[in-house]
Amino acid sequence: MIRAAFARLRPLAFPLALALAASPVGVPAQGLPRAGGAAVSGGLPTLGDAEGLSVGAERRLGERIARELFRDPDYLDDAVLSDYVQQLWVPLLAAARQRGELPPDMDERFAWRILLGRDRSINAFALPGGWLGLHLGLISATTTRDEVAAVLAHELSHVTQRHIARMMTQDSRVSPLVMGAMILGAAMATRNPAMGQAVVAGGQTVAMRSQLNFSRDMEREADRVGFGVLTQAGFEPAGVVAMFEKLQQASRLNDDGSFAYLRTHPLTTERISDMRARLPMDMGSAGPKASRPDLLHGLAAARARVLSAPGVDALRVLVREAQALPADAPLPRQAAALYGGALASLKLRDAAQAARLQARLARLDLAGDPAAARFVRLLGGELAWAAGDSAGALAAAGMRPVERPEVLLAAMAQLQITQVEAAAQAADRLQSWVLDHPSDATAWQLLAQAQGARGLPLRALRAEAEARVAVLDYPAAMDRLRAAQNLARRGTTDHVEASIIDARSRQVELLLREQAAER
């Protein structure tokens, strides 16, 4: 079976209420659900409808796959990078909506979430039900935010055009369950071929792998629709061509499989020239204009490089790069190298070196780029927290944090103080955060810690349960809820929490039963 676990979460667009809603259409264990379920309406593709697979069935299939991804050791919820990617993703979704590419039914019921993988390969993939996977290698290999957005817009369009649903209905001999395993296998195979094979193994194997690639027409459609979404969202269209040329260049130099994206999205000269033809005249004829230096993206790429570094040697290289930086290097290069070096030093547990590089970074004049300055400030908070300087970390998070990285940093700093009062403040902060972001597993986990520190075990157990629900691990959630019920039975004054726990137990029990029925 698949061993998977990405360990922290993006909140967003996946309200708990949705996960708890009863499913109108059941997925039969064998054979495809027939048409007539939740049909998608409006804004649909030129390639024909996805007849067999309803939106509801695709959503459930997506959850089955996402559940495995959450358990992948490479899954990573880095608050800073997740937030960065979210800033690209939200405008793309809004643009797809405005352009009528995202029918309300699909909009509401699909997850629309991007899971980050700590993998150095240049890869991104769309899964059923609006889940996307994005490898850190893709972030670190790009030079502008437009390039990342171009890939996300393309993947988004595979989902909105229901390419996955169509792919699945092309072969009615394959049940959604098997197809789900195959899609996951193909996604994992891009990282670890042996693992991918193992997932798919068991009869319907290699021959079917070829069907998991989108067709040439689907690729063309995702390029076309994705381009419209990208430009409407305000990104530079040249990012698309830059990205494709980068991939093509990379594939010429390197054939060891680290450019996995190319295997599922074969690049053809035709696709690149189609793209170029879509650019405004002045850019199309001269080729993509040189990427403008993107300070913020450079920091995000540096962070991705550190977090996906394969070992201490790779981290040491990043530290040396920062140390050897020429004084007259352009600002974006200096900022990226110092940021990467400081974070790499932190990972190497060299606090003194981290502080030296961070101090140099903080002296750069980033006043013209508030978002980049925020990245640097958050890094300062991270270093302070790691050094046990709770006050420094709290200061970096700001007085009234509203964004996720700041909210989580502030809570972590307060938990570090190990006083009941600070734990209570952290709990308040996190409690109001999860109210708006119920699928934020990391926040729930921190809340569990805060409640435990306050001596409120019932609340701690429930928060732990919610963290498991958020990563779709219902058996583990049920386990925590039962422990909480047992504890409450031994006597509690927290009657409100006890009744919430009873209600949640019934809901999670239903989810568990539904999950068992799908097997």
Q: Does 118 bind Zn ion (CB under 5 A)?
A: no
As a whole number of angstroms, the distance between CA 79 and CA 505 comes to 29
Stretch of residues binding Zn ion (CB under 5 A), selected from 97-105, 110-118, 263-271, 368-376: 263-271
Give the shortest CB-132-to-Zn ion separation in angstroms.
Answer: 12
Between 219 and 440, CB nearer to Zn ion: 219
Strands 113-117 and 131-135: parallel
User: Is residue 177 packed enough to be buried (19+ CB in 10 Å), middle (13-18) or exposed (0-12)?
Assistant: middle
As a whole number of angstroms, the distance between CA 332 and CA 339 comes to 10
Degrees (nearest 5) of the Cα angle 120, 111, 478? Answer: 95
Q: Does 64 bind Zn ion (CB under 5 A)?
A: no
Give the shortest CB-385-to-Zn ion separation in angstroms.
Answer: 39
Using CB under 5 A as the binding criterion, the count of chain residues that bind Zn ion stands at 3
500's tokens: 């919430």
Could you identify the residue written with the tokens 């309803």? 54
157 and 42 in contact (C-beta within 8 Å)?
no
Q: Could you tell me which residues are beta bridge partners of residue 135? A: 117
Give the shortest CB-137-to-Zn ion separation in angstroms.
Answer: 17
Stretch of residues binding Zn ion (CB under 5 A), selected from 23-31, 94-102, 259-267, 285-293: 259-267
Give the shortest CB-513-to-Zn ion separation in angstroms.
Answer: 36
Could you identify the residue written with the tokens 């990205």? 243
Q: Does 8 bind Zn ion (CB under 5 A)?
A: no
As a whole number of angstroms, the distance between CA 104 and CA 100 comes to 9
Stretch of residues binding Zn ion (CB under 5 A), selected from 117-125, 212-220, 269-277, 475-483: 212-220
Between 263 and 347, CB nearer to Zn ion: 263
Stretch of residues binding Zn ion (CB under 5 A), selected from 221-229, 255-263, 338-346, 390-398: 221-229
Give the shortest CB-153-to-Zn ion separation in angstroms.
Answer: 11
Between 150 and 222, CB nearer to Zn ion: 222
333's tokens: 């290069």
Stretch of residues binding Zn ion (CB under 5 A), selected from 9-17, 18-26, 103-111, 213-221: 213-221
Q: Does 191 bind Zn ion (CB under 5 A)?
A: no
Q: Which of 163, 265, 303, 374 binds Zn ion (CB under 5 A)?
A: 265
Between 271 and 454, CB nearer to Zn ion: 271
As a whole number of angstroms, the distance between CA 83 and CA 78 comes to 8
Between 145 and 265, CB nearer to Zn ion: 265
Give the shortest CB-271-to-Zn ion separation in angstroms.
Answer: 10
Tell me the C-alpha to C-alpha distance, in Å, between residue 139 and each of 120, 253, 479, 511: 9, 19, 37, 35
Stretch of residues binding Zn ion (CB under 5 A), selected from 7-15, 261-269, 289-297, 436-444: 261-269
As a whole number of angstroms, the distance between CA 452 and CA 458 comes to 9
List of residues 6+ apart from 108 with CB closer than 8 A: 18
For the chain, the residue count is: 519
User: Is residue 215 packed enough to be buried (19+ CB in 10 Å), middle (13-18) or exposed (0-12)?
Assistant: middle
Give the shortest CB-139-to-Zn ion separation in angstroms.
Answer: 18
Give the shortest CB-248-to-Zn ion separation in angstroms.
Answer: 15
SS3 label, residue 133: strand
As a whole number of angstroms, the distance between CA 477 and CA 469 comes to 6
Give the shortest CB-240-to-Zn ion separation in angstroms.
Answer: 12
Q: Which residue is nearest to Zn ion (CB)?
A: 265
Between 110 and 474, CB nearer to Zn ion: 110
Q: Does 145 bind Zn ion (CB under 5 A)?
A: no
Between 132 and 453, CB nearer to Zn ion: 132
Residue 198: φ, ψ to 5°: -65, -40
As a whole number of angstroms, the distance between CA 124 and CA 154 comes to 10
Give the shortest CB-261-to-Zn ion separation in angstroms.
Answer: 9
Between 154 and 191, CB nearer to Zn ion: 154
Stretch of residues binding Zn ion (CB under 5 A), selected from 4-12, 216-224, 281-289, 503-511: 216-224
Q: How many CB atoms lie within 10 A of CB 249?
A: 11
Q: Does 459 bind Zn ion (CB under 5 A)?
A: no
Site map (CB under 5 A) of Zn ion, residues 359-398, x = contact: ----------------------------------------
Give the shortest CB-163-to-Zn ion separation in angstroms.
Answer: 8
Between 265 and 374, CB nearer to Zn ion: 265
Stretch of residues binding Zn ion (CB under 5 A), selected from 220-228, 280-288, 376-384, 463-471: 220-228
70's tokens: 């959450």
Q: Could you tell me which residues are beta bridge partners of residue 75? A: 6, 117
294's tokens: 């993107």
Q: Does 404 bind Zn ion (CB under 5 A)?
A: no
Degrees (nearest 5) of the Cα angle 6, 10, 13? Answer: 130
3-state helix, strand, coil in the chain (%, to 5): 65, 5, 30
128 and 183 in contact (C-beta within 8 Å)?
yes
Between 120 and 265, CB nearer to Zn ion: 265
Which residues of this protein are in contact with Zn ion, per CB under 5 A?
A: 219, 222, 265
